[in-house]
Structure 1
């Protein structure tokens, strides 16, 4: 969460005014951003950031609220039986947590209070949820016995693919910065609709919405398996691409 806007005292102002200033203060979305994250979650986050600004919350406090909502959903995924109640509760918590995850950065840029500590906290919370979400699903599947043991392979693959993708993505951005290469979010241009739609199966927001299908467990397992398979394939393809990019950066640095 790095702030670029001019810092100004938090005060009471019309909600619409805050929304307008938030929109003007935001960085461009990455060209590779999936459709839900780009067009839905950022907008939800903007409204929550405007609320947080009026409530005089700090970006780190918003990150804390995001963690609270997300890990409540994670806990409910493990302890509740599949059904309508679990589906609605888990999805609501995860969607809210994801929107707040966008709101903390937007608030930081609006108020000019972004910091390395805030960025660190945000990424650590993300790293924890990436691991605990499929683990909680696996625990719930075994605790309540609602899926054949063979399905355990899917959340286990999810843990590996999600963790590797997140780490590789963060490391790639850091190495780009070290070589003076702008991040994909700073390279300008609009994200092509086709690209945004093609990567939708890897979108964390779509994963959150998929838990609505816990009301029909068999349907959820199929959809979840497809999302995890797409994430694993995307991770493998991205790893090859990023490794090649790092080799090029290394060669250029030696010239």
Structure 2
């Protein structure tokens, strides 16, 4: 490929898909930018979108395996944080590579969502197993990752299903365009951001502090889900009214 790396990055920036209005600040302003640089490198290397998804999964699930295999420590937390952050960035990169190459497909979108659905459940459960194996916290606190696994799974499925039903009824995605997304909303939903969750593993060596912060993030996610579910239900119910 004769196109320079810088030119590919610039082309990606100008062709960036609009972010959903509910996209938290880290995902919108940090992760998408890191993913852009990784996508440009993947494009230059001739990688397909599915291969990029595979790289994302490799980083993420390696981090989860380490949480299960090794006792909590500062160095483990930092390694897991880096792996999860890179896995998340590569997850952003696969769609960008698909747009660059024109190789996007329903199968690729399916694979991307399956990997995402798996990671939102296995990350808290993997952490739970590791904390239990090495008796790192009082047993009662193991309920926190268990609740997180359930809530994160429902939240992810709810977002995906609602969006797919909107598409099926010809309703366009509620994405921000032209930088019109209110920055305050982006900041307010930061506690629900998967990227922020990844960063908290830097504190994994101070296990009690980590679990307390993880618990607060989980509580914020529960609160967000309780607000979102009624709204999504109303949105989906309105699709039937609009068709009638």
TM-score interval for Structure 1 and Structure 2 normalised by the shorter chain: over 0.9
- Choose which of 58, 71, 86 in structure 1 pairs with 2:61: 71
Q: Which residue of 2 aligns with 1:208?
A: 198
Deviation of residue 102 (structure 1)?
0.3
Q: Which residue of 1 aligns with 2:158?
A: 168
Does residue 97 of the first structure (1) align with residue 97 of the second (2)? no
What is the CA–CA distance in structure 2 between the aligned matches of 1:32 and 1:125, rounded to whole Å? 21
> In the alignment, is the contact (CA less than 8 A) between 1:44 and 1:99 conserved in 2?
yes
Deviation of residue 188 (structure 1)?
6.2
What is the CA–CA distance in structure 2 between the aligned matches of 1:85 and 1:68, rounded to whole Å? 20
Deviation of residue 252 (structure 1)?
2.3
Structure 2: give runs of 5+ residues left out of the alignment: none
What is the CA–CA distance in structure 1 between the aligned matches of 2:121 and 2:84, rounded to whole Å? 14
Deviation of residue 236 (structure 1)?
1.5
Deviation of residue 189 (structure 1)?
5.2
Q: Secondary structure at the match of 2:171?
A: coil
What is the CA–CA distance in structure 1 between the aligned matches of 2:175 and 2:103, rounded to whole Å? 20
Structure 1: give runs of 5+ residues left out of the alignment: 1-10
Q: Which residue of 2 aligns with 1:137?
A: 127
User: Which stretch of structure 1 is more off in the superposition, 35-44 or 187-196?
Assistant: 187-196
What is the CA–CA distance in structure 2 between the aligned matches of 1:246 and 1:187, rounded to whole Å? 23
Instruction: Give matches, 1:170-185, under 5 Å.
Output: 170-185=160-175
What is the CA–CA distance in structure 1 between the aligned matches of 2:31 and 2:45, rounded to whole Å? 21
What is the CA–CA distance in structure 2 between the aligned matches of 1:206 and 1:36, rounded to whole Å? 7
What is the CA–CA distance in structure 1 between the aligned matches of 2:153 and 2:220, rounded to whole Å? 15
Does residue 36 of the first structure (1) align with residue 22 of the second (2)? no
Q: Which residue of 2 aligns with 1:22?
A: 12
Does residue 153 of the first structure (1) align with residue 143 of the second (2)? yes
Paired residue total: 244
Alpha carbon RMSD of aligned pairs, Å?
A: 1.2
Q: Which residue of 2 aligns with 1:128?
A: 118
Q: Secondary structure at the match of 1:215?
A: coil
Deviation of residue 82 (structure 1)?
1.1
| Cα distance per residue 1:198-254 (max 9 Å; x no partner) | 000000000000111102111101100000111111111111110011122222222
What is the CA–CA distance in structure 2 between the aligned matches of 1:95 and 1:109, rounded to whole Å? 22
| Cα distance per residue 1:29-58 (max 9 Å; x no partner) | 111110000000000000000110111111
The runs of 4+ residues in structure 1 deviating greater than 4 Å are 186-189
> In the alignment, is the contact (CA less than 8 A) between 1:37 and 1:203 conserved in 2?
yes
- Choose which of 178, 185, 191 in structure 1 pairs with 2:181: 191
Does residue 241 of the first structure (1) align with residue 231 of the second (2)? yes
Question: Scaled by the length of structure 2, what TM-score is found?
Answer: 0.97
| Cα distance per residue 1:52-82 (max 9 Å; x no partner) | 0111111100000000000000111111111
Q: Secondary structure at the match of 1:96?
A: helix
